[in-house]
Every structure is written in structure tokens, then in C-alpha cells.
Amino acid sequence: MPRVPERHSVARHRDRLCIVVACEDAAEAADVGCHISQVHTGTLVTYRKAEDILLNAPAGRVALIVLAGGDDPSHIGRILSWIRRRWPRCPVAVIGNGGDAAMETAARIGGASYLARPVGPEQWVALVGHVLTMRGRIATEAGLG
């Protein structure tokens, strides 16, 4: 007979912070997952397209959203607008190709950080580490997750 998890165990996992990554490249998602495991906290939630976040929003407490799917800048603007309404204090990063001024402009207008590919390990460490090491402050902020 399967063992039913204890009640406080289920609540503890539901309250964990999650990092949401929307990308088509599995290697980029794996990079983020690697850095989450180094910090030993948080959960990685991945999507193929940024629009999938709108259709099936994560239920956990979202600490960071990374959009790296190569979507059109006009779509990114609409998605960022929705994200800002849903998670007003959540940091968002848009990953795009170097020299893509339209994508960078859409990201910055939408209130997101912009990183150009290739994103180096030190950039991932800084981005992921910053939000997860400040988890006590972030987890208690109103409007997060």
C-alpha cells in the first residue's frame, strides 16, 4: 500500500519558491536547474513557450520568471503585461539574441531585465542566487506567488 505523505510535508513543498523558465532549448533550462540545485532550495518549473505560462500558470510561489523562448517582441510585451498583473513584485528576465534591439526594448518597457545569449554561468549564478538567497524577504512580500 502506498504511503500517504504527511500533511506538513505537502504544505512545505507547496510553499517552496519556484523559478519559472519558458524556453525551447532544454540546455538553458538545465543550466538554471543546475544553479537551483547548488543553492539547495527552490523548484524549477519549465514551459516551452511563454504563452504557456498564461494558459497554465504555476500554483507555487514564483520567485523568478525567465522568458527565453524566442517569441516575437510584440508577444513578449503582452506576456510581460500579464505577468506584471499576476505577480507584480516578481523579477522577470528576458533572454534574447545579442543585437536584438526590439526584444531588449520590449523587455525593458515591460519591466524585465534583458540578457543576451549566450548567458554565461556567472550570469545564471547571479540571477538565480540573488532571488533564492533572499527567499525570506521575497516569500513574505505581498503579491508574490
Residue 100 DSSP symbol? -
Q: How far is CA 83 from the centre of its chain?
A: 11
Quickly state the pLDDT bin for 134 (edges 50, 70, 90).
Answer: low
More confident residue, 97 or 138: 97
**In the predicted model, what is the mean pLDDT of residues 21-32?**
89
- pLDDT tens, residue by residue, 67-80: 998 889 999 999 99
pLDDT digits (tens, 9 = 90+) for 5-17: 555 444 455 567 8
Domains and CATH numbers, the chain: 9-136 (3.40.50.2300)
* pLDDT at residue 40, as a whole number: 65
Contact 77, 47 (CB under 8 A): no
Residue 55 has pLDDT above 60, yes or no: yes
Asked if residue 104 lies in contact with residue 50, where contact means CB atoms within 8 angstroms, the answer is: no
Entry pTM: 0.82
Phi, psi for 92 (deg, rounded to 5): -130, 135
